[in-house]
Structure 1
Amino acid sequence: MAQINEATLAQLLSEHFEIDADQLRPNATFDELELDSLAVMELVVVIEEQTGLELVEEDLGLGPTSTLAEAAQALNRAVDEAHTDSNSAQGSALR
């Protein structure tokens, strides 16, 4: 999973949280989807499992009023940073 767009996020939410696809719009908030902070953390864990990366939930800045579009952007930034950190660590270990 290279990029996390709204469609990917919607698919994960539908599969793992059994949310009706009609509710999964880019401007839908986690609160509107009846997902609390624990559910958001569970979503991050699902993404970690699929990407093989460790993401820091606190750094994502996601909360009940975050939209799926905002979540996708925050997750993409976190995945990009984790890939960059991982590549830097591998490069420095090779020196």
Structure 2
Amino acid sequence: MDVEAEIKEQLTGHFGVDEEQVRPEATLAELGMDSLAFMELLVILEQRAGVAVAEHLSDINPSTTLAETVSRLETVLAAAHGATRTAAGHGTGKAPTGAPAREARGGRLGGAP
């Protein structure tokens, strides 16, 4: 997901923010985003990304810039997708979480001789 493009699309389309106002240095307050509107934006982004993000962004406030918000969201989404891939065993070279690891000799479980 292109976080910046998605946020810009939501701000202009859903929230009616003038496109010229949507600049990286603009604060959420300058964009007319109070805490309720910001939570609504997060719900929309969570639905699109399939990842819960609101609980990780509690420190974002009206004086946070759009660039800072985008950066934080990208970090949270990347971490969530990385955790999902790791939990599924993708790209780690390890068995998925919860799967038994087999000992190299004899294929025994739990390291029993």
Q: TM-score, normalised by structure 1?
A: 0.85
Q: List per-residue Cα deviations over 1:54-93 (Å, max 9, x = no partner).
A: 11x2422211001110000000001001101211222224
Q: Where in structure 1 do 4 or more consecutive aligned residues deviate above 6 Å?
A: none
- Structure holding more helix per residue: 1
For 2:26, the equivalent position in structure 1 comes to 28
For 1:23 and 1:47, locate their aligned partners in 2 and report how far apart those are by CA, in whole Å.
20
Measured in 1, the distance between the counterparts of 2:47 and 2:98 equals 26
**Residue 45 of structure 1 aligns with which residue?**
43
* Structure 1 residue 43, shift from structure 2 partner: 0.8
- Tell me the matched-pair count: 92
Structure 2 CA distance, aligned partners of 1:87 and 1:94? 14
Greater RCO structure (CA 8 Å; 6+ sep): 1
Q: Which residue number in structure 2 is paired with residue 59 of structure 1?
A: 56
| Aligned match for 1:71, one of 69, 72, 81 | 69
Q: Which runs of 5+ in 1 are unaligned?
A: none
Residue 88 of structure 1 is aligned with which of 75, 86, 89? Answer: 86
User: Greater Rg, structure 1 or structure 2?
Assistant: 2
1:36 and 1:58 mapped to 2: Cα distance? 17
Q: Percent identity of the aligned residues?
A: 38
Unaligned runs of at least 5 residues, structure 2: 90-95, 100-113
Letter in 1 for 2:13: E
